[in-house]
Every structure is written in C-alpha cells, then in structure tokens.
Structure 1
Amino acid sequence: MKHLSILLLSIFLLQSCIQDDIIDDRVDASFSITNPISEITLSDTFQLTTKYTDNVGKTVTTNITWSSSNEMIATVSNSGLVTAVAQGQTTIMASIVSEEGETITDEIVVTVTMDQVDNNTTQEKTGTIRTTSSYVLEGTFTLREIPNTNNLELVINDNYRASSSLPGLYIYLTNNPNTVNNAKEIQAVRVFNGAHTYIIEDTGINDFSHILYWCKPFSVKVGEAEIQ
C-alpha cells in the first residue's frame, strides 16, 4: 500500500509538472551580431562578434561572410573587424549558410563620426519569467556583465514568486528553452519569493538566449524567460 501511494504521488506530480510543457526539442536556427554598435569614431576600429545556434539550440562555429555597403565610409574584414574610414553611414552585414542550406543574415547601420564614442561599456539585459506548468512561477530579472571579468550577475527582482512544493527545481541558461541539452546549469532553486542573485562564471552576456526552469526528477520544463 505504501509503494502504491508513492507511485500515485509521483504520477500526480509528473502530470502537474508537465501540463503545457513543450515536447518538441527543435527550435529555429539563429544567427546574430552579438555586440552591435551604432556609431564609431573616425579612424577607430571595432571587433564585431556573432553567434550561430542550430535547430536544437547548440552553438555552432561556421564560416561568416562580412560586407560593408559603403567601403568609402567603413570597411569590415573577414574576421568582422570594422575600420572607420570617413564620416558618413554604412550598413555592415554578416551572413552564414546554415546546416540546412539556408542563408541567414544580420546587419547593423553604423555612423562614422568625429565625436569620441565609447563602445566598450558593459551590457545588461532583462526579461520576464513565466510558468509553463501548473506551478506558480513568475517575476522579472536583469542579467548584467560584471566589469573586468567574464562573469555575469543574474538579479531576480522583488516581484518573483515560485511554488516551493515542486521537488528538484533547477535554473539554467540555454539557447533552446525546450531542453537542458547544451544548457548551462546555474544551480538548484533555493529561493521561492522575492529578490535574489546568481553569479554565473565564465559566461558571456550573449552566449544564451533564454533562462530555463527545469524539474530534474521528472525531466520536464516548469518555466522560461527570454533574455532581451
């Protein structure tokens, strides 16, 4: 009888945990310039970087084609190094061919100016946490770079609430909010109400696109948030 009760409880928790959970692990392939700029000082250079994730959210290294719509204003090298040549405006474009043979592009409009421009400021992003299950999970957050490190600070705000009755809840960074495959585990969730902070080591602010809350015992998603 005891074993039957445990089994029924496990089934109940699993059903509650799943609810609207997404079963399909595929996502759209994504390619973007991860450190876009809008201005650059005449004669300065700036190194652009990119990120390509495939249809399961895995970061993939691939060949990138760079171009400038007006090389009289600014040039861009094969490695993405922008050089400001003259005052004016140009479009810098990066493109790849995905594993499925699709060409994916991203572009930025850059103005070359005589003014001094600082493009090395720290970045921060925000987002809203939402539940994908029957459990309470909500709130907002800020993800910011920690100066002079390769670490991030994830600040969960005061409006955060989560159900404490869910066993084995973990938080991840991921490019595919449907699975923990290729995700970076942050830690087990120990705070279920109010503001708290996570320090994430050896991670860039553009490395991942989503926060994922995952129920480890039943291997299902509980909630997610897009990093914007």
Structure 2
Amino acid sequence: MIPIGDSVRTRTFPYVNIAIIVATFLVFFYEVGFASNIDEFFYDWAVVPVELTDYLDNPGDHSLRVLFTPITAMFLHGGWFHIVGNMIFLWVFGDNVEDALGHLGYLAFYCLCGIAATAAQVWVDPNSAVPMVGASGAIAGVLGAYLVLYPRATIATLIMPFFFWTAYVPAFLLIGFWFFIQLFNGVASIGYAVGASEGVAWWAHVGGFSAGFLLLWLFRPRRPSVGIGRPMS
C-alpha cells in the first residue's frame, strides 16, 4: 500500500518537511553522480553498529564523525526505490505533524526519532558491520505521531499491484497495519544480521515509531483540526 494523500488540512506551510525532502534528494544525487567510491562514502557516513558501539566503549579509538552518523545516515539511501518510497511517506504525513509541532519543534522531533531508531537497531544487533542508511526510522516516528494526532483521518492509498485502484483507509488502520508488519518482521529477524534476508533494519522502524508515539506528548503539540472524509491533499 502506497499513501498518496490524506484528509487533514494544514494551517502552516511545511518549510522544514520540504527542506528535509530536498536535502535528502540532493545527498542522493551526490551519491549516484559524484561519490567516487560509494562503499567508502557509506562506511564514512552511515551507521555501522559495531563501529558505533566500539566508539561508545572506547571513544579515543575513533573519529568524532562516528557520533554524528545517526543523523547523517538519515540522508543516505540505497537506491531509487528506497528514497522515493521514504519521501512519499514523509510528504504525506510529515506536513501535518510539522503543523502540530511547529517548524523548530518538528525538526528536533524528526532528528530525535532518527536517533532513537538507530539506538533500537544497534541495541538489537550491536555487532553488525552492515551500514545502516535511510530516513525510514525517523519517518516511522512521524507515523507514530500522526497516529496520535489524527487517528480518524482518511488516507488515500494505492493498492499494489493495482496502482489504478485507490482505497480510502482510516489512518489508525493503515498505520497500525504498517507497524504490525514492522514488529512481526523485527521479531522474526532476531538472531540474524541486520536485515540479513531483505536488507531492512526492522527494529529501527519499531524504535522510531515508538519514539514518535511517546515523544509527541513531550512536545505538547497544538490541538489539531482534522478533516474527516476523503483525502484532499
């Protein structure tokens, strides 16, 4: 299922959400067009769990750069399908969460969710040497916040493989189903390397979603106004 719109009207322009999307695409274009050694680039700026845990144990043995990889990794992606899928979700859900939290609040919230997502995956698989890239952990946090803010919103969703068929799904059902899939696969992946079978860091999604769900209460969002019915954006 691919979300393409929702029924929630925003009251402010989503400057931060759009800036994140643009910055993410610019980094991706650099990856595919200008990075001379993409593997080295990923290992420098992606999260490598074993490297991060080693840094926390012995900070003097590593560059300070390692400490910033939970943020830099959010702007790296492994291919077109990866980045487009993530940015579609962020486009549909992020503007409404930014509207509720305010611009600076949303930026802080997004980064904290990304850090929490990294922490969850590293905690489950601390010895992995596989680089973790992508914004999906932070976006999972956005979904968690959206679920709290707008559970009765309606999401326009393309149903695979019949992309011409649009279903209108309640937010609590769509996001709840998405989270169940992440949790199910996360439990099933325990004992394997990070996303060994599919290349997906499932626990980053679970951790990011949980962080977004919980952090929202600390950010004291403005009371949202929710349009109920078919999506208009």
TM-score range for the pair, normalised by the shorter chain length: under 0.3
Higher strand share: 1
| Larger Rg belongs to | 1
- TM score, norm. by length of structure 1: 0.22
Structure with bigger RCO (C-alpha 8 Å, 6+ apart) = 2
Higher helix share: 2
- TM score, norm. by length of structure 2: 0.21
